[in-house]
Amino acid sequence: MAVTSSSTSSETRRVVLAGFIGTTVEWYDFFLYGTASALVFNKLFFPTFDATTGTLMAFSTYAVGFFARPVGGLVFGHYGDKLGRKSMLVTTLMLMGVATFAMGLLPTYETLGVWASILLVALRFIQGFGVGGEWGGAVLMAVERDEHGKRGFHASWVQAGVPVGLLLANAVFQIFSSLPEASFLSWGWRVPFLIGGALLGVGLFIRLKVMESPVFQRAQAEAAPPPAMPIVTVLREHPGNVLVAMGARFAENAFFYIFTVLILSYGTQQLGMSKGALLNAVLVGSAVQLVVIPWFGALSDRLGRRPVYLGGAVFLMLFAMPFFWMLDTRSPLIVALAVVMGLVGHSAMYGPQAAFFSELFSTRVRYSGASLGYQLASPLAGGLAPLIATKLLGWSDGAPWPVVVYLAIMSAITLVSVFLARETHRSEL
């Protein structure tokens, strides 16, 4: 029976919605850890250190999730290219939900001593492993509907689930962080993690309703069997594109975690601002991203991936120092404006990114290739960004200029990588 264009469009909308909701749930789980690392984990799991060292320790465990992401990308990319996209999405969502729920039940250092910290790191690794495999599958399910001229827009909705997850994580954490400090440290911090585990059912219900990628199904039916080791094929046939994707992520990922994670510790410890004002700034910025990420994705369908991406990288390179000047005013309104401006610049890269990376690789190895390029940069850029920036601020006695230099280097890597890439927005899948 022929498939009508209306039924195809309906299925595309269903897949995009499923990707958006599932990604929101997964990144809610992932971002909770970042917020807790900046605000509370130093007290609960590293209480024997001073405030700065405890924060560094908490950010170190935070980075573990990023180093686990390439492992998850490799494993789930392998099976996603051989078995299909949908089953990998269900598995990764379950991993994230279970790990997050377990964090909410975890005894603290006061009860278990160093074992509490070890278990926290283990659960963080599971989170990173799951989210490392999730991105590639969610993006490809949207991109591989193969509606020409709309891939950037459709895939950008999966990307938009990330700021919504951040928005929810910070909103829920803010509610419970307003409790008296004793209550918050004893039980209030656990509730957001338990809620994250409960959201697992919502994400699973949505993702189980969608059909497998039609492009992947056609490749299975018409082409030779998939390569025994898709990752080997990627590295043999597409090494340059893996490096392009990695380099393109450096500025995007580093700036994002400066804007959303470092700001919480920098603002409270260096500037003496309240947690609530800083969380509000991130909330407003995340809400704005929900609108502008799809807009930039659609713009890349018209203008191309490279010019939109390059524009975002140039803007953030120029904005790094003014961002810290705006933070140093300590004005909640100006700080919120700084975060919004930064996240709009970030969105110019993040909106086209999903389609851009997917279009760099062929169908038989697309899950492995896109995941590898995307996730290999995560520990080097986003995972280390709060840690490096905190260390630089300590070295400079709170002066932000070394962080600005660090961000300029990240931007330069991205600019060179995207400039050398081929334009992909009109390519066939």
Domain boundaries, the chain: 15-420
Q: Where are the alpha helices (DSSP H) in 178-274?
A: 181-183, 190-198, 200-207, 214-222, 230-237, 239-257, 263-265
307 dihedral zone (left: phi>0; alpha: psi -120 to 50; beta): alpha
Kindly state the tokens that stand for 134. Answer: 């999730």
Is domain 15-420 classified as CATH 3.90.1150.10? Answer: no
Secondary structure tally for the chain: helices H, strands E: 20, 0
Give the model's pLDDT for residue 1.
Answer: 38
Contacts of 61 (CB under 8 A, 6+ apart): 37, 41, 45, 117, 120, 121, 124
Kindly state the tokens that stand for 124. Answer: 């963080």
pLDDT tens, the chain, 429 aa long? 344 444 457 777 778 887 788 788 877 877 787 777 777 777 788 776 666 676 667 667 767 877 888 888 888 888 888 887 778 888 888 888 888 889 889 998 888 888 888 888 888 889 889 888 888 888 888 887 756 678 899 899 989 988 888 888 878 888 887 888 888 888 888 898 898 877 777 777 777 777 776 676 776 676 666 677 877 888 888 888 999 999 999 999 999 989 988 888 888 888 888 888 898 898 899 899 999 999 999 999 999 999 999 999 999 999 999 999 999 999 999 999 999 999 999 999 999 999 999 889 887 888 888 888 888 887 788 777 878 888 898 888 888 899 999 999 999 999 999 999 989 888 777
Contacts of 234 (CB under 8 A, 6+ apart): 242, 361, 365, 368, 369, 372
Determine the 3-state secondary structure of 212 from DSSP: coil
Is there a contact between 187 and 49 (Cβ–Cβ < 8 Å)? Answer: no
Distance CA 298, CA 320 (A): 26
Distance CA 305, CA 316 (A): 17
Closest CA relative to residue 39, chosen from 60, 23, 21, 54: 54
Phi, psi of 227 (to 5 degrees): -60, 150
Is there a contact between 118 and 157 (Cβ–Cβ < 8 Å)? Answer: no
Distance CA 332, CA 151 (A): 38
Is there a contact between 235 and 412 (Cβ–Cβ < 8 Å)? Answer: no
